Amino acid sequence: MRICLFPGTFDPVTLGHVDIIIRAKPLFDTIVIGVGKNSSKTPMFSAEQRLKWFEDIFKDEPGIKAAVYEGLTINFCKEIGAKFILRGIRYVSDFEYEKTIADANRTLDASIETIFLTGEPKYTSVASTIVRDIIRNGGDASPFLPEVVVESLKKK
């Protein structure tokens, strides 16, 4: 059973995140989207909200699950039986940052491999930080967001 963890803050969930998950689906039996609670970040959206977005987006995909976790990603991998960590890469600078994390994770547990997928060019400009700024300033972030997220933001 090939179980993969796709960890992140996903604040908010973007089309770029969804793209990586859909494209990775054929590679694994199960993808667990790990909505991380990071003590050094103050998210715009609650972990429960981010989890619900993923559950709604992938409700008809049996091989895709979502869970909230805290602490080391490598420990959560062990908890769920994941032997792979999935990371999306938009730019070379993303790779440099992600490689340092992958190297640290490999030092902590060499049996867990990090897999990088490059984002579709149409999503490379989609960063949660930019999307949060657009939302915070009353702009229309819908071109960057899945419909489920757009609809829930309209209700707020």
Residue range 15-70, pLDDT digits in tens: 999 999 999 999 999 999 999 987 677 899 999 999 999 999 999 999 999 999 99
**Strands of the 113-118 sheet, one edge to the other:** 64-70, 30-37, 3-8, 84-89, 113-118
Report the mean per-residue pLDDT for the chain. Answer: 94
Helix 47-57 with 147-155: angle, nearest 10 deg: 130
* Per-domain residue ranges of the chain: 3-155
The catalytically annotated residue of 17, 50, 87, 152 is 17
Annotated catalytic residue 142:
no
- Percentage of the chain surpassing pLDDT 70? 99
Let me know: does 5 contact 82? Beta carbons within 8 Å: yes
Annotated catalytic residue 17:
yes
Nearest to 55 by CA among 134, 153, 148, 126: 148
Annotated catalytic residue 37:
no
The catalytically annotated residue of 50, 87, 128, 152 is 128
Q: How many residues does the chain have?
A: 156
Residue range 76-114, pLDDT digits in tens: 999 999 999 999 998 888 899 999 999 999 999 999 999
Annotated catalytic residue 25:
no
pLDDT of residue 93: 85
pLDDT at 121 over 90: no
pLDDT of residue 72: 95
pLDDT of residue 127: 86
Residue range 13-25, pLDDT digits in tens: 999 999 999 999 9
The catalytically annotated residue of 2, 41, 122, 136 is 41
pLDDT of residue 6: 98
Class of domain 3-155: alpha beta
